[in-house]
Amino acid sequence: MGFADQRFNVNLSILFTELPLLERPTAAAAAGFTAVELWWPWVDSPTPEQSELDALRGAIRDAGVRLTGLNLYAGQLPGPDRGALSVPGEESERFRANIDVAAGFAESLGCTALNALYGNRVDGADPAEQDALALENLALAARAADRIGAVLLVEALNQPESPRYPLVSAPAAVGVVDKVNAATGLDNAQFLMDLYHLAMNGEDLPRVIERYAAVTGHVQIADTPGRGAPGTGSLPLEGLLDRLREAGYEGWVGLEYKPGDRPSAEAFDWLPREARAAR
């Protein structure tokens, strides 16, 4: 096996960011990719103007790429990942307002995975109350995902970079997945296995793959240290992806790494061009 046997998409919120948003789908296509994913592109607005949604939809369609994953509103990204759905008050209300907007946008492009960042602990809020709010909002998101034939993803981040984010291990994230599925009865909540974040947490990645491949709905990669392209660090990503395939995972692998001090188009030399187009 190897990299050539995977189904890669490019995260346009961390790669090609030297270009305006509407130019990134075409740039990904020019680099040989046929699928992309996005964080919620409007960090200040969970409900952007219809014209903005239409413009991005048109750019993706015109580029001839497929949108395979979309984050729900999560506040200010990039930066310390904080999410919104477990933050009491205005932020959780903004998350709720975003659910149907994001689901509708995803459905219009055939996107079948919505990612909901859990949200940081905040001063003055009881963690138990935040967890209850999170479960309520995740259940709403899971039902919206079900209506469009999508899965809802729950992701573990890493403690060094997101010290107030409570899901900093694979078991913690999968535990939330189980609670959402129990609450809705839909069984469409799944684990987003980001190998970079899990490695930064010091987890045993082969063991994580063995235990959780069956409940994994999406995989993302970057090398450690530095969150660069495969081969820039010490993480054996090719072998880990082989393990995932052997464990039965056949879904998308999102390229969620930083290109470094070079244009994004030059940050894919580790992957032969013929292996970039999803089969």
At 237, the pLDDT band (50, 70, 90 cuts) reads very high
Domain that holds residue 120: 3-275
Give 3-state DSSP helix, strand, coil % of the chain, rounded to 5. 40, 15, 45
Active site residue 256: yes
Residue of 91, 203, 238, 256 marked catalytic: 256
At 78, the pLDDT band (50, 70, 90 cuts) reads low
Residue of 91, 155, 203, 238 marked catalytic: 155
Helix (H) or strand (E) segment spanning residue 114: strand 113-115
Tally of domains within the chain? 1
Residues 133-183: pLDDT tens digits? 999 999 999 999 999 999 999 999 999 999 999 999 999 999 999 999 999
Look at residue 278 in the predicted model and tell me its pLDDT.
84
Active site residue 90: no
Q: What is the CATH number of the domain that holds 229?
A: 3.20.20.150
Q: How many CB atoms lie within 10 A of CB 176?
A: 22
User: What would the mean pLDDT of 14-28 be, rounded to a whole number?
Assistant: 98
Residue 80 has pLDDT above 70, yes or no: no
Residues 106-135: pLDDT tens digits? 999 999 999 999 999 999 999 999 999 999
106 Cβ contact list (under 8 Å, min separation 6)? 67, 70, 112, 114, 148, 150
Question: Minimal CA–CA distance to 78: which of 160, 162, 10?
Answer: 162
Contact 191/180 with Cβ under 8 angstroms?
no
Residue 76 has pLDDT above 60, yes or no: yes
